[in-house]
Amino acid sequence: QVQLVESGGGLVQPGGSLRLSCAASGTFSIYTMSWYRQAPGKQRERVAIITPYGTPNYADSVKGRFTISRENAKNTVYLQMNSLKPEDTAVYYCNAKKLAADYWGQGTQVTVSS
């Protein structure tokens, strides 16, 4: 069983930056970790993923602006978000997955607005 707690969301102006954190309990290092987001009226989409070995991948919409990283010693995954745009506004969720095991955090709101 893994529990995930996100933090770091908030209100930021266009062009600004935020860093989201996701603290995990349990055996964190064996899980593939992802960040998803869901905007009002839209489907949840994956924006970034990182393997247990640290290999990242990104959605085209955030490539070059967002960076996912993990610190296994601290059981934490991060999402550094730069050059934020109004269309990045969403609830951001942390996900841990390995085979049939699939865990979600409660989400953190990110609002990009002037």
pLDDT digits (tens, 9 = 90+) for 23-53: 999 888 899 999 999 999 999 999 999 999 9
What pLDDT, on a 0 to 100 scale, did the predictor assign at position 51?
96
What pLDDT, on a 0 to 100 scale, did the predictor assign at position 26?
82
pLDDT digits (tens, 9 = 90+) for 40-96: 999 999 999 999 999 999 999 999 999 999 999 999 999 999 999 999 999 999 999
- Supply the DSSP string of the chain, one letter for each residue: ---EEEE--EEE-TT--EEEEEEE-S-GGGSEEEEEEE-TTS--EEEEEE-TT--EEE-TTTTTTEEEEEEGGGTEEEEEE-S--GGG-EEEEEEEEETTEEEE---EEEEE--
What pLDDT, on a 0 to 100 scale, did the predictor assign at position 52?
94
What pLDDT, on a 0 to 100 scale, did the predictor assign at position 1?
84
